[in-house]
Amino acid sequence: MLLDTTFFIDLADELQSGTAGPCRTFLEKQRHREKFASVVTMGEFAVGATVAETRRFFRGYGRLALGRDLAIYAGRLQAGLPFALGENDLWIAATGVYYGLPLVTRDRAFSRVPGLRVTGY
């Protein structure tokens, strides 16, 4: 499963406040499943965290990088959408569809992307 930026920001808030909210509960229920983060998500997260904090926070999650084939796929995905998706969201959505991974998010815009399986938390 691919975890979106909203998930990681909410998780960081839960960890900081010491509460066991929906993200921590979700992770516990999904503890045996492999979890991934896009490098785009890591970049978005780093806006509010130091380099060291970001690296430490994403330790244990698989990292999905951007490459030529994914870039072409993302471009073709946007070309087929009847609406414009934000650039970072496009990269994240394309990553989920390209790798066949469900996207864990609370961002409703992703539900409009054909072929992307969206899971709430």
Strand partners for 103 = 2, 118
72 contact partners, CB below 8 Å, separation of at least 6: none
Residues 41 and 106: their CA atoms lie apart, in Å, by 14
Predicted structure pTM score: 0.93
Q: 57-115, pLDDT tens digit by residue?
A: 999 999 999 999 999 999 999 999 999 899 999 999 999 999 999 999 999 999 999 99
List the end-to-end C-alpha distance of the chain, in Å, as a whole number: 12
Q: Look over the chain and give the mean of its residue pLDDT values, rounded to a whole number.
A: 96
**Domain annotation for the chain: domains and CATH numbers:** 2-119 (3.40.50.1010)
User: What order do you get walking across the sheet with 36-38 strand by strand?
Assistant: 62-64, 36-38, 2-3, 103-104, 118-119
